[in-house]
């Protein structure tokens, strides 16, 4: 069984329909996430994100955990009864049994100290579940490349990036906040912050998005034009298959640098917390959508907001796409600075770094910027 699991997790391609493999993988993944959730219940001070703890209801989380345990067990039982990939059912039952032995959804959560070092295991679980349910559904409903499987080539690498960047959320937030206040705190003025905080929500949110995108444009362009920064950003561009998981491939150092520089004007200008929270939700969804394997038509909105087609061109290897389409939210910024793609084709055909000089695998990609010269 261990050997079969190893082969499964290192393979890629479409899952054979009617064999129970797809449902078996779903049950196994759910049971693994359940085990992680049980661990988070046991050690909330170290494995959960303080910002999330403030907003979600523990009893609701318990019900979700219980439902996931029942669903994964039911799928595994069905496959086991009809002898469909029984080794997957056995692995699922082993994880469910371990989760229940550790307390399952009934693990008590007592008072625990705040301010401890933490990793965002709860953020990883909830975001992976939500993103998978939403974006796999969207990609299957409106696919750009219908033949592209969910488990496409190098999905393991991007899932590893997704995992690490979510677990390190505490470190990233701490590093970014510290850098912002140390480097840019001097620029904050009560007058400007008072004016910004007096704006109504409907005016403050688009202003924040515009400020963030102008800064992001400058930072993003620097990643392409400064050789040392390109070595970091090339990791993100090395993905050759665009889908909802592709945007997760980012070097951790780039994540820290970008979030610090984009967060700086938001903090200095003093935007209200509810405006910042709304922006985080919007940018989180939008960043995944523009990398997704979707062929959505946005009509006139494509001239106002960055769409998947617009951002896919940024990842293309076509000559007209190199160092173009930097904007994250508003395409007029690229048109203003002369960096918008001009092409007669709606979608590019090939993605990745020209020359294909970035290695595969999380560890190799983490070390790559410090080993190799710039490759375009």
**Any idea which of 104-113, 184-193, 200-209 has the lowest mean pLDDT?**
184-193
Let me know if residue 109 belongs to a domain. yes
Residue 372 reports pLDDT greater than 70: no
Q: State the residue range of the domain holding 259.
A: 169-370
Q: What is the pLDDT of residue 77?
A: 96
Last residue of a domain, one of 118, 134, 160: 118
Percent over 90 (pLDDT), the chain: 82
What residue has token string 């705190």? 185
Whether residue 175 is found in the same domain as residue 90: no
Q: What is the pLDDT of residue 373?
A: 59
Let me know if residue 242 belongs to a domain. yes
pLDDT, tens only, 333-363: 999 999 999 887 889 989 999 988 899 999 9
Whether residue 221 is found in the same domain as residue 366: yes
Whether residue 40 is found in the same domain as residue 109: yes
- Mean of pLDDT over the chain: 93
Whether residue 221 is found in the same domain as residue 357: yes
pTM summary value:
0.92
Q: How confident is the model at residue 189 (pLDDT cuts 50, 70, 90)?
A: confident
Whether residue 96 is found in the same domain as residue 217: no
Residue 256 reports pLDDT greater than 70: yes
pLDDT, tens only, 15-43: 887 789 999 999 999 999 999 999 999 99
CB contact at 8 A, 305 and 285: no
Whether residue 176 is found in the same domain as residue 292: yes
177 half-sphere exposure, CB direction, 13 A CA radius:
6
Report the C-alpha gap between 245 and 310 in whole angstroms.
Answer: 17
Phi then psi dihedrals of residue 22, to 5 deg: -60, -50
Q: What is the pLDDT of residue 376?
A: 43
**CA-angle at 354, arms to 234 and 352, nearest 5°:** 60
Average pLDDT over residues 219-224: 98
Report the C-alpha gap between 330 and 184 in whole angstroms.
Answer: 25
Let me know if residue 341 belongs to a domain. yes
Q: What is the pLDDT of residue 170?
A: 83
Last residue of a domain, one of 94, 118, 142: 118
Q: What is the pLDDT of residue 32?
A: 97
Let me know if residue 211 belongs to a domain. yes
Whether residue 70 is found in the same domain as residue 201: no
pLDDT, tens only, 52-76: 998 889 999 999 999 999 999 999 9
Whether residue 199 is found in the same domain as residue 268: yes
Last residue of a domain, one of 118, 144, 160: 118
Residue 210, token pair as written in the block: 């515009």
Whether residue 99 is found in the same domain as residue 242: no
Residue 158 reports pLDDT greater than 90: yes
Q: What is the pLDDT of residue 183?
A: 86
Whether residue 236 is found in the same domain as residue 303: yes
Total number of domains constituting the chain? 2
Whether residue 228 is found in the same domain as residue 356: yes
**DSSP-assigned beta bridge partners for residue 351:** 316
Whether residue 65 is found in the same domain as residue 209: no
């Amino acid at each position: 069984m261990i050997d079969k699991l190893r082969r499964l997790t290192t393979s890629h391609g479409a899952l054979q329909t009617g064999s129970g493999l797809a449902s078996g993988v779903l049950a196994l993944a759910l049971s693994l996430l359940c085990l992680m959730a049980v661990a988070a219940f046991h050690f909330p001070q170290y494995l959960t994100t303080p910002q999330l703890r403030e907003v979600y209801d523990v009893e609701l989380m318990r019900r979700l955990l219980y439902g996931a345990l029942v669903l994964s067990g039911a799928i595994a039982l069905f496959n086991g009864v009809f002898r469909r990939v029984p080794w997957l059912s056995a692995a699922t039952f082993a994880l469910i049994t371990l989760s229940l032995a550790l307390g399952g959804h009934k693990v008590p959560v007592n008072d625990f100290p705040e301010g401890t070092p933490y990793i965002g295991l709860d953020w990883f679980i909830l975001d992976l579940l939500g993103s998978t349910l939403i974006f796999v559904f969207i990609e299957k409903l409106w696919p750009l490349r219908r033949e592209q499987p969910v488990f496409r080539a190098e999905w393991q690498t991007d899932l590893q990036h997704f995992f690490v960047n979510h677990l390190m959320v505490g470190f990233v937030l701490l590093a970014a906040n510290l850098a912002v206040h140390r480097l840019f705190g001097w620029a904050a003025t009560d007058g400007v912050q008072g004016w910004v905080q007096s704006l109504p929500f409907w005016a403050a949110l688009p202003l924040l998005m515009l400020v963030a995108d102008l800064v992001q444009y400058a930072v993003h362009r620097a990643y392409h034009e400064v050789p040392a920064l390109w070595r970091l950003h090339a990791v993100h561009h090395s993905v050759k298959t665009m889908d909802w998981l592709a945007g997760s491939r980012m070097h951790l150092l780039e994540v820290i640098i970008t979030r610090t520089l984009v967060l700086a004007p938001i903090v200095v200008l003093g935007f209200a917390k509810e405006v910042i929270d709304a922006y985080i939700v919007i940018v989180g969804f939008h960043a995944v959508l523009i990398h997704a394997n979707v062929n959505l038509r946005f009509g006139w909105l494509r001239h106002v907001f960055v769409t998947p087609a617009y951002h896919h061109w940024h990842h293309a290897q076509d000559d007209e796409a190199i160092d173009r389409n930097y904007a994250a939210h508003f395409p007029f910024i690229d048109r203003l600075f002369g960096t918008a793609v001009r092409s007669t084709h709606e979608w590019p055909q090939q993605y990745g770094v020209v020359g294909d000089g970035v290695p595969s695998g999380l560890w190799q990609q983490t070390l790559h910027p410090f080993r190799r010269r710039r490759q375009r």
